[in-house]
Amino acid sequence: MQIRSSREANREPEFQPQVMVENKTSYDGPESQLSIYDTFQQAKRVELKSDQPLFCAMLTGKKVMHTQDSSYDSDFVPHESFVLAPSQSVEIDFPVASLAAPTRCLAIEITTERINQIADNLNAQVEKYSEFGPWQYQQQLLHTHHNAQTQALLQRMTELYIGDDPDRSYMINLAVSELTVRLLRQQSRDFMMSFCQQQPDHSGLTMAIDYINQHLHECIEIEQLCRISCMCRTKFFNQFKLQFGCTPLAFQQQQRLKKATELIKTGMQITLVSFELGFISSSHFSRIFKRFYGLSPKSYQHRHKTMLN
């Protein structure tokens, strides 16, 4: 995602921002605010806190995020999302920021009331909850990869907040709703995955999910998952889509791609990653990876190496 302010586009060599760390430009919307943060020099332990849920997306550069109790320390790089819960505080390092190549982050603040309203609307449309209960916002830190759809949504939201479309408020409302649904879905998935790791035999659905995760490199038949879950095909599909919003095979593909990013970060060759995870060929793997994440495995690998230096 490329977002350039008019000031940056016309920047002369002698340009000197007044605020070097976390220079903030904000745009208000209904029950939300979008801010673009630019940092022009290296810094450590800069505090970030919001009284509302804060959805952050890295655009350029790198941050290192720390919770004050040291329970979480992680790099934060482009094509990733970081969601900060209300009143939760993090401290940020900016190891690569410079005047020529600022670290840039997009942040969207959404009121808790708005998120709860969207969750209630979702619950009202569901005839039967999943085994893990209704949709609800978990006030906890979330750090995840973007897929190409989320990336496109963030680009569209930026254009809406900055622009002067006559339907601006209405369109922002729709986009905020979509982003919130994606947040709720990701939180639900993360909770489910954590639960499955701890209690894989809790139910038929958790046993099927555990089997998928243990056999990412294999071609899995739906009938096999139905037998494991002790459900008929129709019930299994309905239960799975209710929980994850996708089919079992689409879920397996997403888990394979997530595992691929982990292997690429270890330095494994892309060709070996593709065969390790059961893809037909490295070119097939590259096409699917780029379609999902918006960049090729080689670009992802290069970016990770660059961020480490």
Of the three residues 188, 203, 232, the one that is the final residue of a domain is 188
Q: CA–CA separation, 154 vs 224, rounded Å?
A: 38
**Whether pLDDT at 15 is above 60:** no
**Whether pLDDT at 276 is above 90:** yes
pLDDT tens digits, one per residue of 18-65: 778 889 999 999 889 999 999 999 999 999 988 999 999 988 889 999
The total number of residues shown for the chain amounts to 309
Q: CA–CA separation, 26 vs 33, rounded Å?
A: 7
- Alpha helix locations (H) across the chain? 6-9, 112-124, 148-162, 168-198, 204-214, 222-229, 233-244, 248-265, 270-276, 282-293, 297-308
Among 243, 257, 262, 106, which Cα is nearest to 179's? 106
Q: Is the domain of 31 the same as that of 139? A: yes
pLDDT tens digits, one per residue of 111-139: 999 999 998 888 887 666 566 667 788 88
Distances (CA, A) of 65 to 75, 147, 177, 189: 6, 21, 27, 22
3-class SS at 25? strand
Q: Is the domain of 126 the same as that of 24? A: yes
Judge contact between 243 and 196, C-beta under 8 A.
no
- Which has the minimum average pLDDT: 68-72, 107-111, 119-123, 194-198? 68-72
Q: What is the CATH number of the domain that holds 274?
A: 1.10.10.60
Total tally of structural domains belonging to the chain? 2
193 within a domain of the structure (yes/no): no
Of the three residues 188, 205, 233, the one that is the final residue of a domain is 188
Provide the β-strand partners of residue 24. Answer: 37
Of the three residues 138, 161, 188, the one that is the final residue of a domain is 188
Q: Which range marks the domain in which residue 138 is found?
A: 1-188
Q: Indicate the pLDDT class of residue 306, thresholds 50, 70 and 90.
A: low
Q: Is the domain of 257 the same as that of 112? A: no
Q: CA–CA separation, 229 vs 204, rounded Å?
A: 4
Q: Residue 60 contacts by C-beta under 8 Å, 6 or more apart in sequence? A: 78, 101, 102, 103, 104
Q: Is the domain of 119 the same as that of 260? A: no
241 within a domain of the structure (yes/no): no
Q: Is the domain of 58 the same as that of 147? A: yes
102 burial (CB, 10 Å; 0-12 / 13-18 / 19+) is buried
Q: What is the CATH number of the domain that holds 79?
A: 2.60.120.810
